[in-house]
């Protein structure tokens, strides 16, 4: 079901500062930047490698408001790893198969994600405390 780790999402207070840190320290390149109103984030993707069905990235996330998912996470836990996203060939199919196993979906249908992807989240409490995202990358 999982083809690769698509990205690790990192919650940060100041995305510009973290972009500078990650790109300078690890020699990573920012390949996309987006504001996603629906998810309440300003985000940047830093490319690591290319894999089956898409690339793998670090995703830096700054909240658009305090009551957004990342805003609440920062207030409660501070900066750090917010979610892990796995690449899947078909997000709707993966959602259905995973839900059949009793894992709660946080999305009823796929949402718009970074770089034209389709995404869906799984409840962290059902995945060993890890907020999990499924990503179907955009077709090239
Ligand atoms: C909350 N919890 C987490 C967590 N956030 N555990 C692990 N990792 C996280 N990131 C825990 C929290 O400590 C609570 O546990 C419990 O889950 C309920 O959390 P809460 O603080 O009451 O907050 P809620 O319920 O209001 O929201 C939590 C969820 C929410 C996960 C349901 O953040 C959500 O729907 N997230 C999905 C959307 C999202 O995160 N979007 C931003 C990324 P205790 O204290 O009760 O034990 S957007 C993105 O990645 C994009 C666009 C992309 O990749 O393209
Ligand atoms: Co993400």
CATH number (domain holding residue 82): 3.10.180.10
Find the 83 Cα to ligand 1 centroid distance in Å.
8
Q: Which residues of 88-106 are buried (b: 16+ CB within 10 A; e: fewer)?
A: beebeebbeebeeeeeebe
Return averaged pLDDT per consecutive 10 residues of the chain, 140 residues in all: 97 98 98 98 98 92 98 98 98 98 97 98 98 93
Question: What is the predicted pLDDT for the residue at 52?
Answer: 81
Q: Is residue 83 among the annotated active site residues?
A: yes
Number of domains in the chain: 1
Question: Is 43 a catalytic site residue?
Answer: yes
**Residue 124 neighbours by CB under 8 Å, 6+ apart:** 130, 131, 132
For residue 24, the model assigns a pLDDT of 98
Neighbours of 135 (CB within 10 A): 28
Give the pTM: 0.98
Residue 122 belongs to domain spanning: 4-136
Provide residues with CB under 6 Å of ligand 1. Answer: 9, 36, 39, 41, 43, 59, 61, 69-70, 72-73, 76, 82-83, 85, 106, 113-114, 117, 119, 121, 124-125, 129, 131, 133
């Amino acid at each position: 079901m999982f083809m690769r780790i698509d990205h690790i999402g990192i919650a940060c207070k100041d995305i510009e500062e973290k972009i500078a840190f990650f790109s300078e320290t690890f020699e990573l390149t920012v390949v996309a930047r987006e504001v996603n109103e629906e998810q309440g984030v300003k985000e940047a993707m830093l490319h690591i490698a290319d894999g089956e069905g898409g690339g793998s990235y670090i995703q830096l996330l700054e909240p658009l408001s305090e009551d957004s998912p990342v805003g609440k996470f920062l207030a409660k836990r501070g900066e750090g790893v917010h979610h892990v996203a796995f690449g899947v060939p078909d997000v709707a199919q993966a959602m259905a198969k995973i839900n059949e196993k009793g894992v709660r979906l946080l999305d009823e249908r796929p949402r718009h994600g970074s770089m034209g992807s389709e995404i869906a989240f799984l409840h962290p409490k059902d995945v060993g405390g890890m907020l999990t995202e499924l990503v179907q990358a955009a077709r090239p």
